[in-house]
Structure 1
Amino acid sequence: MKKLLSLLSLCMLTAAGAVNLAAQPKIVAHRGFYATEGSWENTISSLANAQKLGVYGVEFDVNLTADDQLIICHGPKIHGTKLHAQKSKFADIRAAKLPNGLQIPTLREFFEQGKKCAATKLILEIKIHSTPKRETQVVEAILALAREMELVPQIEFISFSKHVCDEVVRLQPGATVVYVSSNMKAMSPAEAKALGYKGLSYQLNVMMNRPEIVREANELGIETTLWMVNDRELIDWAIRHGVTYVSTDSPDKAKAYLEAVARFKE
């Protein structure tokens, strides 16, 4: 039955003349590829799995601890504890065990794994912090490490915080900066371009209710990311509308589906 539904979906796309292989969205593994035995989100394991899978990029979350250590964690709470990603100290956070015996990595450790596969983009989400001043400190620390490790070209800096995005543009001219939002009144591609951003990453309800965003973005050379894309119908929508990237919790399934679309057109 699943195979029949997949075939019907492919037929519908083809009948509508919607499949343009050059315009197929690229896959971003949301918090890495962790739906594998022994892995967990936002860990070295999930990054390595995504690198092996061969997707465009890996999205991960960066927080600054109370004692100024950059860690990879969605937050604000640390899994299975009462610790806070930004209000607790690094030693306490590091001692906390994630499922499968894994630990929360530092940004340096994550970058070290990232350097092993230059083809995999590092989609670095800088989380919202308590004040603009604190956010500037976070941006400065991240950029200093990225420069030290010569990773700036491999990184795309994304954030829900406009201040964070503006600071990356100011402090690292030419960097790929992407504004993220789930707000129905989120900025237009023209506004993003004027601010020096290179992309917009919008939650599916925003983009699907405002499809003109994708059209305008493509006209202006602004890249778009649709999230979260965890079923075929959303991938189909992204293909039809010319979305640049899809962010998914199931990068293996998304990759297999897009490859099936490509084979069907041959």
Structure 2
Amino acid sequence: MPHASPIVDAPLLAHRGASLYAPENTLQAVQRAAEMGAKWIETDVQLTADDELVIIHDLELDRTTNGSGFVAHHTLDEIRDLDAGSWFGHGFGHCKVPTLEEFIGCVVDNGLNLQLELKELAGREYHLSDRACDALAELWPFGERKLFVSGFSARCMRRIAEKMPDVPRAIALICVPDDPDAYAEEHGVQIIHVQDKFVDDEALEIVRASATEFGVATVNDPLRAKYLLRSGVESVLTDDPLLLERGHLQAVDQIA
């Protein structure tokens, strides 16, 4: 049941920026995505040891920086000293882990909309949610750019609903629920994101019958993206902002 006016008003969200072309969740990945025509950026936020908000996906530093250990065990200054780009390729050694403030500034300056995913530590969901809400209230240009907050934690989503009820929310799941609309109502969300590997034809039948908006992650094959978008999914998260162009689909109306 595709929505006439979905919250995500474009078929693609740039997953951690243009992460096929630049180190994920860096300002360089945001800028590259904008240059490639992206309308939406997805990113991940979590807390440092000194209670600062930084943009990084993994709970540990090892994969995407030259650091080691948990993000939550390091201060902002320690994380800012790390190289967040050389792992990706030559010429990216200058990339740093951005703060949420820096990231939002880059998103807004490039005319983009934002999906902010909360990377919570179990047991501290409310603290991360509260800090994120306070930062968004201060930094986000409401009324000018679109925003929704997402996460795997239902506790986080319920807290966001309490603190910022007018901001849309998405719950990240593995599979399509048997009753998506009841699931969305139970957890106070408007969007459900699911993993592509678990989206088969039976799941897509449920999606089409649902009034809830759906996104699928992570899709880097243009034919697969086209199939999902024609089968009731409103948007896909991709590492490649040029995905539909590579599939010879220049506009949303060419998908149907």
Amino acid of the structure 1 residue aligned with 2:113:
K
Query: Which of 95, 105, 108 is the equivalent residue of 1:115?
Result: 108
The alignment status of 1:238 with 2:221, answered yes or no, reads no
The alignment status of 1:150 with 2:140, answered yes or no, reads yes
Q: Is the 8 A contact 2:193 2:215 kept in 1?
A: yes
Partner of residue 195, structure 1: 187
Partner of residue 227, structure 1: 217
Query: Please, which moves more after superposition, 55-64 or 208-217?
Result: 208-217
- 1:235–1:164 Cα change, 3 Å: same
Identity over aligned pairs, percent: 24
Q: Moved runs in structure 1, 4+ residues, more than 3 A? A: 22-25, 150-153, 183-187, 260-265
More helix by share: 1
Amino acid of the structure 1 residue aligned with 2:14:
A
SS in 2 for 1:251: coil
Partner of residue 66, structure 2: 80
- 1:30–1:264 Cα change, 3 Å: closer
SS in 2 for 1:156: strand
Query: Which of 98, 107, 111 is the equivalent residue of 1:105?
Result: 98
Amino acid of the structure 2 residue aligned with 1:33:
A
- What do you get for the CA RMSD once the two structures are aligned? 2.5
Unaligned runs of 5+ in 2: 87-91
* Mapping 1:1-266, distance limit 5 Å: 26-36=11-21, 39-78=22-61, 79-98=65-84, 99=86, 100-101=92-93, 102-118=95-111, 120-131=112-123, 134-152=124-142, 154-183=146-175, 188-208=180-200, 209-217=202-210, 220=211, 222-257=212-247, 259=249
CA deviation profile, 1:142-199 (whole Å, cap 9, x unmatched): 1111111233553210101111111111111121100001146576233203433110
Alignment: residue pair count: 236
> How far apart in 2 are the matches of 1:95 and 1:168?
31
Query: Please, which moves more after superposition, 159-168 or 236-245?
Result: 236-245
Query: Please, which moves more after superposition, 183-192 or 248-257?
Result: 183-192
Partner of residue 7, structure 1: none
Unaligned runs of 5+ in 1: 1-21
- 1:27–1:252 Cα change, 3 Å: same
Q: Is the 8 A contact 1:25 1:246 kept in 2?
A: no
> How far apart in 1 are the matches of 2:13 and 2:45?
17
- 1:76–1:263 Cα change, 3 Å: closer
Structure 1 residue 259: deviation in Å? Answer: 2.5
- 1:72–1:258 Cα change, 3 Å: farther
- 1:123–1:247 Cα change, 3 Å: same
> How far apart in 1 are the matches of 2:59 and 2:186?
32
CA deviation profile, 1:8-61 (whole Å, cap 9, x unmatched): xxxxxxxxxxxxxx999611111101333xx31100111111122222311111
What TM-score comes out, normalization by structure 2 length? 0.83
Q: Is the 8 A contact 2:170 2:191 kept in 1?
A: yes
Amino acid of the structure 2 residue aligned with 1:189:
D
SS in 2 for 1:158: strand
Amino acid of the structure 2 residue aligned with 1:176:
P
Partner of residue 14, structure 1: none
What TM-score comes out, normalization by structure 1 length? 0.80
> How far apart in 2 are the matches of 1:145 and 1:245?
27
